């Protein structure tokens, strides 16, 4: 066991922030109790069989409704985890020690500046990933029951990050950005706010761009009101729909009477059909891997700059 025990600056970091680690453990236990309890409540009411052989939760199953509500907010809360991790690394872990000068004590114990920072980041990163993985496992306990239903689509914000690899990459980005910003600002609260803002901007930016990484699938069909709707597999992500003209131009709308008067289609253009753009569910993992790669590259850059700043200020 002695070989597995933490030593040196790793032990100091764990000892110094043991209350934060205990708080993370309590958070995991509370999440498990909440989701596990709702699954048990949900299981008390049998599901209902409907026409076509489908199984749906009974209208009397209030536990299922609460579970859906809890899972929706659970997924949104998980998105904020990288911001919290980054803010903690930037503030209490790095900036506060530089601001108060307590880091000098560590440097007098035959510990290099690089080892001092590295031990903090390794410890914080390991604790953050362990907490995230535990919460993700608890999330899957609920997701196995409610996944794919309204407001819990695989492409929704929160759901997308938690069920794939993206959240892991964002947590590591939070650690790296926190290490860099904490050294540059050296003011605890300001560093925390700045790091949370930077990680949040990256989250929002890539969230807006992620569905442009891969080309959409387009299906077309007739534009008449009584025409059948172009078939799209279930659970896919609709990106756009409208009418097609004979020149290939896309117009808003879904139905019209191309052979009728102008008012039927609202345009002088000749309408020849309609289109539907969507991302199939098979695009989930390629999109996850592309986004995770981008985020990890940003994290590596931030980490490189953090140690570069450290060497410059503490050669």
Residue with tokens 């709308």: 253
- Give me the pLDDT at residue 149, please: 67
> Could you tell me if 201 and 113 are in contact, meaning their C-beta atoms sit under 8 angstroms apart?
no
Q: Over 90: is that where the pLDDT of 1 sits?
A: no
Is this structure's pTM higher than 0.85? yes
Judged by DSSP in three states, 261 sits in: coil
pLDDT digits (tens, 9 = 90+) for 237-258: 988 888 888 777 888 776 665 5
- Classify residue 51 as exposed, middle or buried by CB count within 10 Å of its CB (0-12, 13-18, 19+): exposed
Rounded distance, CA 217 to CA 211, Å?
Answer: 12
Instruction: Report in angstroms the alpha-carbon separations of 310 from 182, 184, 201, 208, 255.
Output: 11, 10, 25, 34, 62
pLDDT of 261 above 50: no
| pLDDT at residue 263 in the model | 44
Average pLDDT rounded to a whole number, residues 68-93: 94
The set of residues, in sequence order, having a beta carbon less than 8 Å from that of 111 and lying 6+ positions away, is: 8, 9
Quick one: which of 281, 235, 271, 226 has its CA closest to 250? Answer: 271
pLDDT tier at 224, thresholds 50, 70, 90: low
The total of other beta-carbon atoms located within 10 Å of residue 115's CB is 15
> Average pLDDT over the chain, rounded to whole?
85
| CB 275, CB 218: distance < 8 Å | yes
The residue assigned the tokens 């997924």 is 75
């Amino acid at each position: 066991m002695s070989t597995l025990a933490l030593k040196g600056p790793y032990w100091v970091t764990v000892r110094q922030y043991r209350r934060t680690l205990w708080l993370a453990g309590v958070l995991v236990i509370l999440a498990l109790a909440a989701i596990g309890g709702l699954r048990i409540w949900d299981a008390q009411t049998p599901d209902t069989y409907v026409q076509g052989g489908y199984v749906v939760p009974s209208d009397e199953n209030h536990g299922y409704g609460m579970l859906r509500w809890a899972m929706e907010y659970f997924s949104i809360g998980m998105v904020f985890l990288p911001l919290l991790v980054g803010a903690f690394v930037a503030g209490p872990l790095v900036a506060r020690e530089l601001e108060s000068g307590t880091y000098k004590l560590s440097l007098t114990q035959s510990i290099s500046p690089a080892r001092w920072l590295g031990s903090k980041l390794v410890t914080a990163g390991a604790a953050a990933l362990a907490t995230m993985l535990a919460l993700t496992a608890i999330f899957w306990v609920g997701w196995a029951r409610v996944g794919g239903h309204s407001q819990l689509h695989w492409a929704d914000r929160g759901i997308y990050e938690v069920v794939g690899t993206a959240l892991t990459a964002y947590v590591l980005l939070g650690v790296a950005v926190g290490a860099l910003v904490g050294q540059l600002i050296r003011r605890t609260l300001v560093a925390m706010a700045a790091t949370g803002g930077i990680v949040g901007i990256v989250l929002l930016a890539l969230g807006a761009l992620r569905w442009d990484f891969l080309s959409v699938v387009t299906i077309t069909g007739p534009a008449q009101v009584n025409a059948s709707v172009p078939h799209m597999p279930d659970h896919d992500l609709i990106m756009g729909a409208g009418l097609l003209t004979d020149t290939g131009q896309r117009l808003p709308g879904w139905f019209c009477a191309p052979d009728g008067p102008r008012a039927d289609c609202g345009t002088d253009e000749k309408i020849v059909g309609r289109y539907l753009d969507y991302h199939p569910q098979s695009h989930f993992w390629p999109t996850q891997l592309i986004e995770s790669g981008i985020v990890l590259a940003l994290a590596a850059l931030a980490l490189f700059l953090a140690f570069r700043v450290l060497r410059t200020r503490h050669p």
